[in-house]
Structure 1
Amino acid sequence: MGMRNNARRSERSLVCAIQALVGTHILVELRNDTCVRGLLDDCDDAINVIIKDSLVEDVQGVEKKLPLIFIRGSHIRFVHIPLNISISQAVEDRLIWRRFVGTCGYLAKSDGHCLPKEPFLSNLL
């Protein structure tokens, strides 16, 4: 029951927009003016994010490559949405995915075949 309430809570907040970006390259600005670019690997309901293959740039412009970075949600100022992403479609696809993918991790299609978990389903439905 608690997990269901968390899912519904994230659907009613902007966290679903960030979760819809999982698997895309993003730019995150932190409260200390540091910028992190990379592939968004995961995002939880507190907007804690994991970014793979990241490039971290501090205030002085010094860049550092990191294979994996965890950023606490309270340290995030902005998450820039890539221009090629329709955020409304991405959120819609993510909500469909969350509602219809079972605990086994597969989505059953009407023809009886199963598809692996896929956050962006607009091309499959």
Structure 2
Amino acid sequence: MSRLGDRSLITFLQALQQTIVKVELRADSVVKGRLDSVDENMNLTLSDVSFTPLQGDTKQLPFMYVRGRNIRYVHMSPKINPATIIEEQRTRIAQVRGIHARQMMSLKAAPKGDQETD
């Protein structure tokens, strides 16, 4: 994810992973479940889902994939402090980037004679 992405709605949604969210869709339906993953296109994977169409009965589903372009709103628990979870997510991203940078530096620093040849 780019550094601009660190300050995006996607970062916020990624910080909400493993919490219960309610997602209103453009098709006037509602999905409620545990947010398992969010990708760079804001596509969501949820589990233990309750799906309620505009007209019809609520259906219980083990999981659901929601395309980002179909999302109208994402609601979260009022107990969650958005500023706190965003900062925690940005810290996790920085830690992962630091680990990756150290690994790349150690690979560059490895002596050439240690590399295998075909």
Which bin holds the TM-score, normalised by the shorter protein? 0.7 to 0.9
Task: Report matched runs for 1:1-125 at 5 Å.
Answer: 6-101=1-96, 102=99
**TM-score of the two chains, using structure 1 as the length reference:** 0.74
Flag the 1:45–1:9 CA change in 2: closer, same or farther, 3 A: farther
| Root-mean-square deviation over aligned CA pairs | 1.3
Aligned residues: 98
**TM-score of the two chains, using structure 2 as the length reference:** 0.78
Letter in 2 for 1:76: I
Q: Give the whole-Å Cα distance in 1 for the aligned partners of 2:70 and 2:5.
A: 19
Tell me the residue number matched to 1:121: none
More helix as a share of residues: 2
What runs of 5+ residues in structure 1 fail to find an aligned partner? 1-5, 104-125
Rg larger in structure: 2
Determine helix, strand or coil for the equivalent of 1:19. Answer: helix
Letter in 1 for 2:73: F
Taking only the aligned residue pairs, the percentage that are identical comes to 35
Q: Give the whole-Å Cα distance in 1 for the aligned partners of 2:42 and 2:88.
A: 19
State the 1:61 CA deviation: 4.5
Q: Give the whole-Å Cα distance in 2 for the aligned partners of 1:65 and 1:56.
A: 6
What runs of 5+ residues in structure 2 fail to find an aligned partner? 101-118
Letter in 2 for 1:51: L
Q: Give the whole-Å Cα distance in 2 for the aligned partners of 1:61 and 1:82.
A: 26
Cα deviation digits, residues 59-88 of structure 1 (max 9, x gap): 025100111100000000000021010011
Tell which has more relative contact order, 1 or 2 (C-alpha 8 A, sep 6+).
2
Determine helix, strand or coil for the equivalent of 1:42. Answer: strand
Large movers: runs of 4+ above 3 Å: none
